[in-house]
Amino acid sequence: MDHLYEKTLHSETIYEGRIINVRVEDVELPNGKSSKRELIDHPGAVAVIAITPDNKILAVRQYRKALKKAIVEIPAGKLEPGEKPEVTAVRELEEETGYTCESLDKLISFYTSPGFANELVHLYVAKGLEKNGEQAADEDEFLDVLHLSLEEMEKMLETEEIHDAKTAYALMYLKMK
Amino acid sequence: MDHLYEKTLHSETIYEGRIINVRVEDVELPNGKSSKRELIDHPGAVAVIAITPDNKILAVRQYRKALKKAIVEIPAGKLEPGEKPEVTAVRELEEETGYTCESLDKLISFYTSPGFANELVHLYVAKGLEKNGEQAADEDEFLDVLHLSLEEMEKMLETEEIHDAKTAYALMYLKMK
């Protein structure tokens, strides 16, 4: 047993939503005392670095109600129940940008906010892109599609025009390779 | 008005916790239809890249109840009400690692999970570190402190021994500089 382990003493489901569930748990700490944890269950998500034949990266500008503003991110979306992440990745890329891809490679998975949420993002790189039609986003999704060079995106990170963790993770990965 | 704007039609607070609040909102979409948004309000947080005199980066290993496991991250913590982020940064660094710092510089701020949460993480770099005593973490926090080189952390990112968004953001920033 990990010496940092926290045992669940009591778990109460506060809310079961369409995307997230909310739980409050009483836990036993390593020193025997107890504390409360507020936890979000999330189905997980994918994010896609999609590189066009002319070496641009596809980005989307999308209104985020949680932030009360639109921000620039790489294409992404949550997993549907039972859906394999690579299926979600292809679907979200096409829905959000209108592009299909010839190849899709898994890069890495990471947690966005481990202090309170279990959201795990699976990051993919898509190549061999072909514009197959219009965007066909979910009926509650509205997006602008942007074609940006790696250099443009890096500059936008420095100026905080991009300030989204999964997008930064993606750029870091491209830089390291 | 942004053409992607979503107007709030109705907002219901589901839960008001110690750290997060949960809201469900009915919104009017750009096409006039309506949808639901499940939203988490978070007070915001800081994360600190703390570089020791022998050029190691301080990391902490901490049990994350949301993930049901311990993971490695850079020191971080949520903002207390009314607290300036730079004060939180110095406090969290000392509480989690026992180190004080001579200089603290703001690097950037970013959203961890803009699809459902407004958590904004302020990233700092701390130098001139001095071990001033033992850890004095919050009474519900238990941590192992690690001293890792940039190369070790990069390798851990590739093998997913580190898979935390704020830690990756921090490493990316160090690489770009």
Do the Cβ atoms of B144 and A4 come within 8 Å?
Answer: yes
Determine the length of chain A: 177
pLDDT of residue B132: 83
Q: In this predicted model, which residue has the larger pLDDT, A138 or A147?
A: A147
pLDDT of residue B142: 87
Nearest Cα of chain B lies from the Cα of A119 at a distance, in angstroms, of 8
Q: Scanning every residue of chain B, which has its alpha carbon at the shortest distance from the alpha carbon of A173?
A: B172
- CA distance to B93, B129, B134, B144, B149, per residue, from B152 (Å): 21, 20, 25, 17, 5
Looking up tokens 């949550």 gives: A78
State yes or no: pLDDT of B149 exceeds 80.
yes
Phi, psi angle pair for B154, to nearest 5°: -60, -40
What residue ranges do the domains of chain B occupy? Answer: 7-41, 45-176
State yes or no: pLDDT of B137 exceeds 70.
no
Residues on chain B touching A43 (C-beta within 8 angstroms) = none
- Among candidate residues A135, A139, A169, A132, the one with its CA nearest the CA of residue A153: A169
In angstroms, the CA A75 to CA A121 distance is 12
pLDDT tens profile B47-60: 999 999 999 999 99
Do the Cβ atoms of B111 and A45 come within 8 Å?
Answer: no
Give the count of beta carbons closer than 10 Å to the beta carbon of residue A32.
6
Q: How many CB pairs under 8 A join A and B?
A: 202
pLDDT of residue B136: 65
Q: Which CATH architecture has domain B45-176?
A: Alpha-Beta Complex (3.90)
pLDDT tens profile A28-67: 999 999 999 999 999 999 999 999 999 999 999 999 999 9
Show Cβ contacts of residue A48 under 8 Å, excluding neighbours closer than 6 positions.
Answer: A58, A74, A75, A76, A89, A92, A93, A104, A123, A124, A125, A126
> Which amino acid appears at position A168 of this protein?
A
In angstroms, the CA B89 to CA B48 distance is 6
pLDDT of residue A136: 65
Q: Scanning every residue of chain B, which has its alpha carbon at the shortest distance from the alpha carbon of A144?
A: B4
pLDDT tens profile A67-78: 999 999 999 999
Nearest Cα of chain B lies from the Cα of A163 at a distance, in angstroms, of 4
Residues on chain A touching B38 (C-beta within 8 angstroms) = 17-20
Do the Cβ atoms of A165 and B111 come within 8 Å?
Answer: yes
Which of the four pLDDT bands, split at 50, 70 and 90, describes residue A8?
very high
In angstroms, the CA A122 to CA A170 distance is 11
Q: Contact at 8 Å (CB) between A95 and A101? A: no
Model pTM above 0.90: yes
